Structure 1
Amino acid sequence: MSSRILRFWLAGLLFLGTTAAAHGQPANFEDAKQLLRDRVYFDQHQNGAQGTLYCGCNWRWTGASGGRVDLASCGYQVRALPQRAARIEWEHVVPASWLGQQRQCWQQGGRNHCRDSDPLFNLMEADMHNLAPVIGEVNADRSNYRFGTAPQAEAMYGRCTSRTDFKKRVFEPRREVRGMVARINFYMHDRYNLKMSQQQQQLFMQWHKAYPPGTWELERNRRIKSVTGQDNPFVSGTRQWQPGHRNSAEGLRLPPASRHKAPAATATTARVKGNRNSRIYHLPHCPNYADVNPRNVVPFRSEQQARQAGYRKARNCP
């Protein structure tokens, strides 16, 4: 075998091994946000790209997965929450509360309890197909309202045409993303066996027909699949939502490796504290262990887990 052929053969093995290792759903919400930044939305934040889901604004990346919004780029006007309007947040298009309400852990202690005790909830919450960057204020206003049309709601975000009807608890996304919103809902309800009202089904089927997948939605689906190995079949067209649709519930079959997985560490139980802004981790005996802002804490069970996530040990920590 020539040296050139050998190099190609070794490179092929390395590629296959890397690809296989990369496939798999992120274990938790924090991992999902970072993967979305690094592998999916890395080029969608500036220069006329897709921008934020509901308003199409540009942003500048900050920290591990956050961002500062360029409000002028989309003519956004702050409604009431200037601090949240200035930052990027990751929206669960199908709200986490809708996912949790079908889990026993939610009844026992809500979202945090589910994160600590239910591996399947963590996978559902971290499903990358269901997450997109949005302006924090719009994320707060949307809350867990259902999608719909809000003709009575005033235009409240400047040139951003998404609207919130607080009285009827309805959120109307801008036209450019209505089809995407519909197909994300199809995917999540089908995969995790969620109930969808007839009214919502009719609306989403209308949006799906009126706004077929565009270039970015197809590319987004491709990128997420390259990370997780999981396609949104309602984007790729391999599955269709019809009246009387029966959910596949494929996502409720927990992967064998995750069935007995220890609960994820939390900020209060973690032995190792990572700082998502500095990408540095601290041990309990480190001088700055207690100084990490709780909002910036990324908890780890071990130093090895922290290093695997790309964090380095604090220099002042022996």
Structure 2
Amino acid sequence: MTEYTPKERLSRALTGQSVDRMPAVCVTQTGTVEQMEACGAFWPEANSDAEKMAILAEAGHTVVGFEAVRVPFDITAEAEFFGCDIKDGTMEQQPSVVGHVVKTVEDIEKLKGYDLSEGRISVVCDATRILADKYGDELPIMGSMIGPFSLAQHINGDEWFMAIFTDEAFAFALMEFTTEFSIAYAQKMVENGADTMVIIDPTASYQLIGAEFYEKFVVPFHKKIIDAMHEVNVPVVLHICGDTTQGLALMESCGVDAISVDQNVDAAAAVANVEKAVIVGNLDPVNMLWNQTPEKIREQSQKVIDAGVGLLAPGCGTVSKTATMNLQAMIEVAKSHKY
């Protein structure tokens, strides 16, 4: 069988084509303290400085061994871009959204006319360009963004969950706005060299909002983003936290290429619940990758592969204190697996 470059291998794996072996990638955040110490680029600065962001993303490849580079490391840049209050992160902890800016349709109107060359959105795109210029011929360049449902929740606050039940006009208006932004942002990342897109939509959970509301407020909006990416031949991975087992068929209905499942999902059940989508996951980032030995990680990695996943990866974002040797144990098993 042909031996592929990492870039070719991941693209083929995500689009259902034959490959020589499993790609060794992480579709969720990759930054760790050990990588920061090795490359000299640290959080929180690496969240807001393009050069440092690119250096730390590169360390996922040069220090750990992932066969891709990925930015950014957190999911607050989009909310910050629209004026939400952000609690600063630290070297070990990511920033979080603590203030919101939209209560009415009129508030949504005030956010329109944004400029994607400003704020941390621009920083992420600049980091993408730096990485693409250096690695784009060989490695996958993963762009990542928060999904439109979770962005709506960041912008509106916890009232968002009541809004989808009680005020459909407002809810649809906000989803249209966040989706339009998500498409524009994804396209800008692609223009800067991203060749794979990851949508992280943690609160768009079938388990949290149920089938009716997922089908109404999530599927059509994810489909718009995915269609826009497919128009430029960019495969899309969707990650939603929690036990998504019962919602996988609905998640797949948006046309996504791959679905990243977290540790609460039985990997074999996930594979059985989709028709075409590649299942990505799902080593527990806390109880396994952070807190176990390389030997245990290799053992569990093989079990996950035996369950039928298409890509072995963490079930959620990598814990910042995870040891490099633990991640390398997972990578070793992935690279040894022949399809």
| TM-score (structure 1 length as normaliser) | 0.31
The structure having more radius of gyration, on CA atoms, is 1
**Quick one: higher RCO (CA 8 Å, sep 6+), 1 or 2?**
2
Bigger share in helix = 2
